[in-house]
Amino acid sequence: MKDKVYPKLFTQDIPKNTGRRFAISDIHGCGKTFIYLVEEILKLTKDDQLFVLGDLIDRGKNAILLIDYIIEKQKEGYPIFVLIGNHEQMLLDNYHRDGNQTYQKVLKYDNLEGLANEDSEIKPKYVDFFESMLFYIELENCLLVHAGFDVNYEFVKIQNIFTDKEAMLWIRDFKGNLERTQQKPVVHGHVVHNLDQIKESLELAKQKKAAVVPIDNGCAYVILGKEEKNNGEIGNLCAVEITEKTNTWKLFYTPFRE
């Protein structure tokens, strides 16, 4: 029997910090793009906090590079907090369903071969990494989650939106509802939005009028050959600054680069 590799915690309290706060989502294996954004554009310091909103894997070739980089930076003392996305959930589901051939195919197809040892077991350091992922985080000025919350009962009618894993990982067309999210905008990924939509929501957030702040600009769409599909610019990896004490809502981004 395999040990369960699912996140242990729904959420955790985040300590106040002296620096900036950033959120990045849907890196999808674009590890080199992520490292460039963090090192060269954000110039992340240990006083900052970085929140990664899930879907680190699949599509791009550098998911292992990305995960190793995050683990290394965390060890060096950089406060990096990682949420789970539906792609991590699918990988873990596959892992539990079938530990041999199917799972091997999944790893190969998704460029994740380095994740497992020769016995097809996820290596312990990655088990730890997946287990420490969270479903959502609440900050003073916003909520962070991969896809969204079921604020309008699209899935099942439950009173506590913060226990509905299905919605947090999968919901689409998420419009938000400030009354149900403690009057805080929800910063999320999962669905690609063009740069104008992202900038507009950041402007609204600054005025404390936004219910949602989408931040996935589809950096991996370049790999999928889908750049032309959306009206407006897509294909960048975005970081949004969400620093509460200065009410800073600011966009940083870089095109896909591998």
Query: Rounded to the nearest whole angstrom, what is the least distance from the CB of residue 191 to Mn ion in the complex?
Result: 8
Instruction: With beta carbons less than 8 A apart as the criterion, state whether 149 and 180 touch.
Output: yes
Shortest distance (Å) from residue 146 CB to Mn ion: 6
**The one segment of 35-43, 75-83, 121-129, 186-194 that binds Mn ion by CB under 5 A:** 186-194
Give dist(CA 176, CA 205) in Å, integer: 13
- At closest approach, how far in Å is the CB of 21 from Mn ion? 22
Q: Which stretch binds Mn ion (CB under 5 A): 81-89, 122-130, 229-237, 250-258?
A: 81-89
Nearest to 146 by CA among 129, 159, 134: 134
Which of residues 190, 192, 194, 236 is near Mn ion by CB under 5 A?
190
CA-to-CA separations, 123 to 64, 133, 180, 215, in angstroms, rounded = 12, 16, 39, 31
Of 20 and 130, which CB lies nearer to Mn ion in the complex structure?
130
Closest by CA position to 188, among listed 86, 44, 77, 41: 86
The nearer residue to Mn ion, 44 or 53, going by C-beta atoms, is 53
| 86 forms part of the interface with Mn ion (CB under 5 A) | yes
If one counts every other C-beta atom within 10 angstroms of the C-beta of residue 257, the result is 13
Which stretch in 84-92, 121-129, 177-185, 232-240 sits in contact with Mn ion by CB under 5 A? 84-92
Question: In the set 20, 38, 55, 67, which binds Mn ion (CB under 5 A)?
Answer: 55
Max Cα–Cα distance, the chain, nearest Å: 53
CA distances to 63, 195, 196 from 33, rounded to whole Å, are: 11, 17, 21
Minimum CB–partner distance for residue 87 and Mn ion (Å): 6
Using rule CB under 5 A, residue 150 touches Mn ion: no
Phi, psi of 86, rounded to the nearest 5 degrees: -65, -30
Q: Which is nearer to Mn ion, 20 or 188 (CB)?
A: 188
- The C-alpha atoms of residue 202 and residue 241 are separated, in whole angstroms, by 9
CB of 112 to Mn ion, least distance (A): 16
Site for Mn ion in 107-136 (CB under 5 A): none
Nearer to Mn ion, 141 or 194 (CB): 194
Name the burial class of residue 196, with classes exposed (0-12), middle (13-18) and buried (19+) by CB atoms within 10 angstroms of its CB.
exposed
How many amino acids of this chain bind Mn ion (CB under 5 A)? 4
Residues with Cβ within 8 Å of residue 37, at least 6 apart in sequence: 24, 237, 239, 252, 253, 254
- The answer to whether residue 176 forms part of the interface with Mn ion (CB under 5 A) is no
Out of 31, 85, 148, 176, name the contact with Mn ion by CB under 5 A: 85
Instruction: Kindly list the residues in this chain that would bind Mn ion in the complex (CB under 5 A).
Output: 55, 85-86, 190
